[in-house]
Structure 1
Amino acid sequence: MRADVDSWPTGRLLSVAARMVEARFDDFLAGLGLTHAGLITLHHLADGPLPQRELARRSRVTDQTMSRTIDRLARTGHITRSTDPADRRRTVAVITPLGTRALTAARDEERRSDRFFGAVDDYDHFRDQLIRLIESAGNR
């Protein structure tokens, strides 16, 4: 197996690794009552309430997609909705204590678990390299 993998182009290595990690992480998130989209939404809500349109923009999804994500998070108790004090016509999503605990658990599991990045020698360096890769691809 190792000899075969050694011959793969880097793009294929990255793609296969991403799918494997994502599948494992999705299983972990399901145990918290979350999806990957829900986790991204909680991440954006960690610093305070946000309206749906802003959540969609930050998450790089459509308003409709964010609406479904917010509905699910509200049903599972990870967020609540409230009226925006700055504009009473607008509703904002607010992370709940359950949502904060789930977000913390997911962040901790990502960093510590050998199921996700245990084969990586230096998590912070690996993360920095991924960010550089994404940023450089976005500038083309």
Structure 2
Amino acid sequence: MSTTHGSDLSTWPTGRLLAVAARLVEQRWVAVLGGMGLTHAGLIALHTLREGPLPQRTLARRCQVTDQTMSRTLDRLVKAGFVTRSPDPADARRQLTRLTDEGRTAHDRAVRAEPALLGVLGDDAAFRASLLELITQLSTDG
């Protein structure tokens, strides 16, 4: 196994390997998304809006963030032209957030970029299945 900073990675505990791998993937992913005018939070919002317009509070809940965090994320997405906000015909007190054609294109580009980012992993389906199993198991154990 290769070394990092003179340390034999094969001797590292699994938890450390997972943490370092996650940090390295996140750093690359942030750079890729930044080149598209997106953030990770913005991509999650675009992904959630693919099914149709949503009020900000519902979008925040589905993305598992606070209303304030979603507000800042949506401000950036509106400025980039990826989403629009308009009054909700069913309730004039709230606004609906809608994905624009540019937002749908940005989302699609990001989804297509992911395999190249993770191509080093080989079988993407098997890796994703392992991650899903790990996350599900750890989520239900606590």
> Do both proteins adopt the same fold according to a TM-score greater than 0.5, normalized to the shorter chain?
yes
Letter in 1 for 2:64: R
Unaligned runs of 5+ in 1: none
Rounded Cα–Cα distance in structure 1 between residues aligned with 2:57 and 2:134: 28
Q: How big is the shift at 1:85? A: 2.6
Runs of 4+ in 1 over 3 A off after TM superposition: none
Of 43-52 and 77-86, more deviation after overlay is shown by 77-86
Instruction: State whether structure 2 residue 28 is matched by structure 1 residue 24.
Output: yes
TM-score by length of 2: 0.91
TM-score by length of 1: 0.92
Larger Rg: 2
Out of 26, 43, 58, the position equivalent to 1:39 is 43
Out of 37, 57, 60, the position equivalent to 1:56 is 60
Q: 1:138 matched to which residue of 2?
A: 139
Aligned sequence identity (%): 53
Q: How big is the shift at 1:83? A: 1.7
Measured on the aligned residues, the alpha-carbon RMSD in Å equals: 1.3
Rounded Cα–Cα distance in structure 2 between residues aligned with 1:102 and 1:14: 29
Out of 68, 71, 83, the position equivalent to 1:67 is 71
Instruction: State whether structure 2 residue 14 is matched by structure 1 residue 2.
Output: no
Q: How big is the shift at 1:36? A: 0.6
Q: 2:130 matched to which residue of 1?
A: 129
How many residue pairs match? The answer is 137
Q: How big is the shift at 1:86? A: 2.5
Unaligned runs of 5+ in 2: none
Rounded Cα–Cα distance in structure 1 between residues aligned with 2:90 and 2:134: 38
